[in-house]
Structure 1
Amino acid sequence: MTSTPTQDETATDLLPAVPADAPALAQLEAVGVTAWFGQRKVLDRVSLTMPAGGITALIGPSGCGKSTFLRILNRMHELVPSAALAGEVLLDGEDIYDPERRLIDARRAIGMVFQKPNPFPAMSIRENVLAGLKLTGTKASRSERDALVESCLTRAGLWTEVRDRLDAPGGGLSGGQQQRLCIARSLAVKPRVLLMDEPCSALDPTSTRVIEETMVELAREVTIVIVTHNMQQAARVSDTCAFFLAAHGTPGVIVEHGRTDAMFGSPQDERTSDYVNGRFG
Structure 2
Amino acid sequence: MSAEMTGVLPAVVEDETTETPLVPPGPEVAAPAAASTVVSTAATLEADRVSAWFGQRKVLDRVSLDIPAGMVTALIGPSGCGKSTFLRILNRMHELVPSAQLAGEVRLDGQDIYDPARRLTDARKAIGMVFQKPNPFPAMSIADNVLAGLKITGTKIARPDREALIEDSLTRAGLWAEVKDRLKQPGSALSGGQQQRLCIARSLAVRPRVLLMDEPCSALDPTSTRVVEETIGEIARDVTIVIVTHNMQQAHRVSDQCAFFLAAQGTPGVIVEHGPTDAIFEDPQDQRTADYVHGRFG
TM-score relative to the length of structure 2:
0.88
Listed one character per residue, the Cα deviations across residues 56-106 of structure 1 (whole Å, up to 9, x for unaligned) are 000000000000000000000000120001000010000000000000000
Q: Matched residue of 2:50: which SS?
A: strand
CA distance in 2, matches of 1:22, 1:81: 38
Q: Confirm or deny that 1:88 pairs with 2:77.
A: no
In the TM superposition, what is the alpha-carbon distance from 1:21 to its structure 2 partner?
3.7
1:139, CA displacement in angstroms? 1.1
Match status 1:222 vs 2:250: no
Task: Indicate whether 1:138 and 2:151 are aligned.
Answer: no
Tell me the equivalent position of 1:36. Answer: 53
**How many angstroms apart in 1 are the aligned matches of 2:62 and 2:189?**
43
| Amino acid in structure 1 at the alignment position of 2:118 | R
Is 2:74–2:251's contact at 8 Å kept on the other side of the alignment? yes
- Distance in 1 between residues matched to 2:296 and 2:136, nearest whole Å: 37
What is the SS of the residue equivalent to 1:167?
Answer: coil
Once the two structures are TM-superposed, the CA of residue 25 in structure 1 deviates from its matched residue by 2.1
Query: Cα offset for 1:248?
Result: 1.1
Between the aligned partners of 2:40 and 2:160, the Cα distance in structure 1 is 21
* Residue pair 1:23, 1:190 contacting (<8 A) in 2 also: no
> Which residue matches 1:194?
211
What TM-score, normalized to structure 1? Answer: 0.93
2-structure distance, mates of 1:221, 1:227: 19
Residue type at the aligned position of 1:197: D
Is the counterpart of residue 164 in structure 1 residue 181 in structure 2? yes
**Correspondence for 1:120 among 119, 122, 137:** 137
Check the 8 A contact 2:40/2:237 in 1, yes or no: no
Aligned length: 265
Q: What are the equivalent positions in structure 2 for 1:98-117 lying under 5 Å apart?
A: 98-117=115-134
Q: Distance in 2 between matches of 1:19 and 1:25?
A: 17
Counterpart-to-counterpart distance in 1, 2:270 and 2:87: 13
Q: Which consecutive unaligned segments of at least 5 residues does structure 1 have?
A: 1-17
Question: Partners of 1:20 and 1:47 in 2: how far apart?
Answer: 35
Q: Distance in 2 between matches of 1:21 and 1:157?
A: 16
Aligned counterpart, 1:246: 263
Counterparts of 1:38-53 in structure 2, within 5 Å, are 38-53=55-70
Q: Which amino acid in structure 2 is aligned with residue 156 of structure 1? A: A
The aligned amino acid for 2:198 is L
CA contact (8 A) 1:22 1:190 kept: no
CA-to-partner distance for each residue in 1:98-119, whole Å, 9 max, x for gaps?
0000000000000000000000
1:223 offset after TM fit, Å?
0.2
For residue 99 of structure 1, what is the amino acid of its counterpart? P
**RMSD over aligned Cα atoms:** 1.1
Kindly state the Cα deviation for residue 23 of structure 1 after the two structures are TM-superposed. Answer: 5.1
Q: Which amino acid aligns with 1:165?
A: R
Secondary structure of 1:225's counterpart equals: strand
Superposed, 1:171-186 pairs within 5 Å as 171-186=188-203
1:7 maps to which residue? none
Aligned AA for 2:182? Answer: R
Instruction: Return the alpha-carbon distance in structure 2 between the equivalents of residues 25 and 110 of structure 1.
Output: 10
Task: Tell me the amino acid that sits aligned with residue 88 of structure 1.
Answer: E
